[in-house]
Structure 1
Amino acid sequence: MSVSGPWNFLIVARLRTVEELSRYTAELARRLPGLRITDSAVSLQVRKSEAQELDRRGHRVHTVAPDIWSDPAPAEGT
């Protein structure tokens, strides 16, 4: 991500409930006294951050983290 506009820092946090946002920002302010929180936004979009590989019975074998840096499209001629 990059930041443009009047702000110079962006923190993205994955919280389980909206109520956790006030506790999270209070803890940030306590730990970083020079921090000034100017805005916050809640996104209800859930992005998949991992996948589960299952065996034939449907039981989880292990967690697979996506490789966001790989090119999913094969190179031309391969």
Structure 2
Amino acid sequence: MEINLTLDVRGESCPYPVIYTLEALEDMEKGAILQVVADCPASFKNVPEEVVKHGYELAKEPEKKGRDLYFYFIAG
């Protein structure tokens, strides 16, 4: 999977990871892959739930590596 853009929102508390992710996806070409790196524990549930609710797709399941959370979305 080729990542077209990485958005690092570590240090941001909810709801900012969701807001920044949606803003980034709006500006991307259809089919592009966005990787989001977050560290707010609530993001593990909130980010994918809200982004999918707004009509975007997960490119793969979220991953947790230490404190960091990784999300992959397809812009549409």
TM-score by length of 1: 0.34
Greater share of strand residues, 1 or 2? Answer: 2
| Rg comparison, structure with higher value | 1
TM-score by length of 2: 0.34
By relative contact order (CA 8 Å, sep 6+), the higher-ranking structure is 2
